[in-house]
Structure 1
Amino acid sequence: MGVDRAAENERGCIWTAPNWVLGELSVVVEIDDDILAVELWRAVARVRLWAHSIENREALFSGRDDSIADRRASIERTEPDLARLLDVFARFHGSVDPPTEKEVIAACRKVAGWAEQRSAYETAMQFAEAAAMVDPEDPRLANDAGRVCRRAGDRPRAEVWYSRGIGLARRSQNKKQYASGYLGLAAVLRDGGEHYPAMALIRRAGNAAKRGGLRGKAAEAYQDALGVATIHGDITRAVFFAYRALSVYPVHHKRFPAFAHDVAFLLINRGLYSAATSILPAVLKHIQRPVERLVVLGSLARAAGGAGNQEVFRSALSEIRAMAFAQRSTWAGAIYSAGEGARLLELWDVAADLADEAIRAARENDDPVVLQLATQLAAETEHRIEGVETCPEDDPAGRYLRTLAAELQLRLARWRGPTWRPRRSRGAQDD
């Protein structure tokens, strides 16, 4: 389905916009502060109107909006940075200095980032999509909207935006965004359990990145292929893609900690729990975004269970519980992973409770992959079936993976992010 739709967009850049109206109204419900909620709702509605009324902007926004002054003062007290961003949208009305499209796009993206950090996903989606509407020919903005929608757990909406980003990138010969769009769409399909179609898109993204000399994007493609191979239990192929990704990842690429997590997840699936436990705390130091941090915590709980470390398991589970309900796109998976950790520790009652909780969460969030895994965990827990056994020392794949884990530890210790020594991390900047 995803492959065909992407190909359709490549030929004609076909696009059917999501339904905006219900989303705008949900912003009011999502934000606790009533004044701020209404102002965000007004702002995103104005941006859309402004974006669609290029010829009539002066007439539509001719009057001043003096009512904003009191609301602005209230927002300034609680969210000063956000208040300054909202000032950009206020300049639509009767201003001698109306904002440029570039300023509006930048403000929308920053508001989307603010909302994501606070788990206000509908607000984040609305502003990311509004930015893409201001410049509907920019594939980067379409892909960015797709990324926000995917992280929010709205996969159909993400597919629409990624498909558009692919079509726009194809039209404009933007190799970087072409590869990014395919990687994003592949992730949407993978999240929905469509692993083979996802692999086809990953391959296309990797080939495009390689042809364009984009090392970072090629590494991301190999990383995604690693993830799909791990899910399918194809350890040999997963090890191959892990080494391919490591060989091309720029030293300080922004996604390197996420790659280290995916390798740790492979280690867990091979029963190399101690090696995974040695990597994941370092990964947590570098991943602050709540939606991603929750995934890492789930993996750490599972690895600690396999390594027999109850202290680390309980600490990870405690943090998962503290943030899970606010992260609707990944909390089901994190709770399931914690259930696997409890099973490995033979805490059967805890494992059963976590499996049931993960099943409910997966149903609520329409996550078929986690639903299948959690249902299987519940059944196996009932019959006291143990988890993946510890990998033998003489296992060939295990030896390769232990070596890879040691290399990752060294790389993570050196990692400083994409802004560190730009000359050395040029691949991260270009990609």
Structure 2
Amino acid sequence: MPAELAIELAMLLRQIRLFSDTPPLHRSRLFRVPTPAHAGRRRVDALRASPADLRPDLRTLMRVATRRAPDHREIAEACRAVATWAQGNGFARTAVHFAEAGAAAAPRDPHAAFIAGRTNRAVGTAWRAEIYYLRAIRKASRVRDLSTLTRAHLGLGNLFAHTGRLPQATDHFASAATTAMDCGEEWLAAQTYHDIMGLYFELDDLETALKFGQKALAAYPIHNERHPVAVHDIAVLLILKNQFTEAMMLLDLISPAPLPYEDQVLVAGSVSRAAGGLNQRDRYEAAQELVLHLGPQHDHHLDKAYVNLGFGAHALGDFELARDYAERALQVAVAKEHSYVVALSHRLMEDIDNKRPAHVPAPPLSGERAAEHQELIATLRPQMQGWRAQTWGRKENQLGPDSLGPV
């Protein structure tokens, strides 16, 4: 950062905090004085050294100590712009200071508190992020700012999830999903239900995970990019419950869809595991061929695909092939630091070494549960046949961030 700009930002930050901490009746006496000549020259140098798109916001903040002082919302927006610029250029502490200064300048604005929480979470100060997210939730609830309320719950849920507090994370994600539905953002509610499904999966509560996965499917817009991924993830839950028949019915819906190559690798790996559980060697070999063809060039999910190929081979009784894929999965997972796949690979190799048999398929669903699954398949079939993510008009919302930015 240029020295002229760094000095001016430090001076502006000091003025903003003093301005925010001073009662309004006393501000005219303490702040609205003529700008000294040396300060004017310093500001000109700082503006010359700053990026062109940042200059309007800097000029707004430079008016804090003048007779044309901006109001609290203008100060908060300008602080947000400086924080965003600083964070994008690697000046983490500067970003945090200005985000928090914006929240102090606009103490009743839930959006300003949300920005401070988001910035703190981005730079790793989790405890301060939690404080500001909770403040944003309280203020947004009072003024019925549903958009900010949704994103504050999402941000706090992500914070808790990343720090291992999964039950608290699920509570805030559930609140975010409910609020998103209330303000007409079904796509965001669906993605949040999808995330809750993942959290309950980590808690090893597969039944609850399955319920939230079904809620996600009900809420997803048909052409959302994550819609087929949600179908796949529900199939994975069924595979973990050894319900290979029902899982394969779901996987058959999304296998023909024009998925991105990395998702095709993921789905093919899951198909291979279900095919192994059903003793369908031809389906296993077709899925194996797809993984080996696409996986090396599109390796985002390659470790998961390899370990599923290993489980499928183990179920088919090919222990040598199963060990080969377990070792491949372990190598890729260690490089990617995917601890869950590392644990799965070790478990599979232990099963092979100890000659443990593969899991026996669960009996097919019957009665009411079978009817519910058939109804789900009937609903999803035309959706997956017509799914084209690129045709959805709200492309910028496909993965979450909108005009408020990421949570």
- TM-score of the superposed pair, with normalisation by structure 1: 0.58
Residue 52 (1) aligns with residue 31 (2): no
Residue 245 (1) aligns with residue 224 (2): no
Residue 67 (1) aligns with residue 46 (2): no
CA–CA distance in 2 between the matches of 1:129 and 1:273?
50
**Residues 302/258 of structure 1: CA separation in 2 closer, same or farther (3 Å cut):** closer
Map of 1:285 onto structure 2: none
Map of 1:412 onto structure 2: 389
Map of 1:80 onto structure 2: 52
CA–CA distance in 2 between the matches of 1:139 and 1:348?
50
Match of 1:195 among 160, 166, 176: 166
Deviations 1:358-414 (A, max 9, x none): 3xxxxxxxxxxx7x637636856987989xx9xx9x998899599479639825222
**Residues 419/355 of structure 1: CA separation in 2 closer, same or farther (3 Å cut):** closer
CA–CA distance in 2 between the matches of 1:215 and 1:259?
12
CA–CA distance in 2 between the matches of 1:98 and 1:227?
48
Match of 1:92 among 54, 64, 83: 64
Measured on the aligned residues, the alpha-carbon RMSD in Å equals 4.9
Match of 2:343 among 376, 381, 386: 376
Match of 1:229 among 192, 196, 200: 200
CA contact (8 A) 1:206 1:217 kept: yes
Count residues with an aligned counterpart: 334
The higher-RCO structure (CA 8 Å, 6+ apart) is 1
Q: Which amino acid aligns with 1:376?
A: A
**Residues 347/204 of structure 1: CA separation in 2 closer, same or farther (3 Å cut):** closer
Gaps of 5+ in 1: 1-31, 283-296, 318-336, 359-369, 421-427
Structure of larger gyration radius: 2
Q: Which amino acid aligns with 1:83?
A: R
Percent identity between matched residues is 23
CA–CA distance in 2 between the matches of 1:264 and 1:121?
38
- After TM superposition, the structure 1 = structure 2 runs for residues 379-390 of structure 1, keeping only pairs within 5 Å, are none
- TM-score of the superposed pair, with normalisation by structure 2: 0.60
**Residues 102/174 of structure 1: CA separation in 2 closer, same or farther (3 Å cut):** closer
Deviations 1:166-214 (A, max 9, x none): 2223333445544443333222222222223322333344445556766
Question: How much has 1:67 moved relative to structure 2?
Answer: 0.8
Map of 1:308 onto structure 2: 291
CA–CA distance in 2 between the matches of 1:405 and 1:33?
58
CA–CA distance in 2 between the matches of 1:228 and 1:125?
29
For the residue of structure 1 that corresponds to 2:387, the secondary structure is helix
CA–CA distance in 2 between the matches of 1:239 and 1:90?
54
CA contact (8 A) 1:132 1:141 kept: yes
Map of 1:355 onto structure 2: 334
Deviations 1:119-150 (A, max 9, x none): 55444433333222221112232233323333
CA–CA distance in 2 between the matches of 1:405 and 1:173?
38
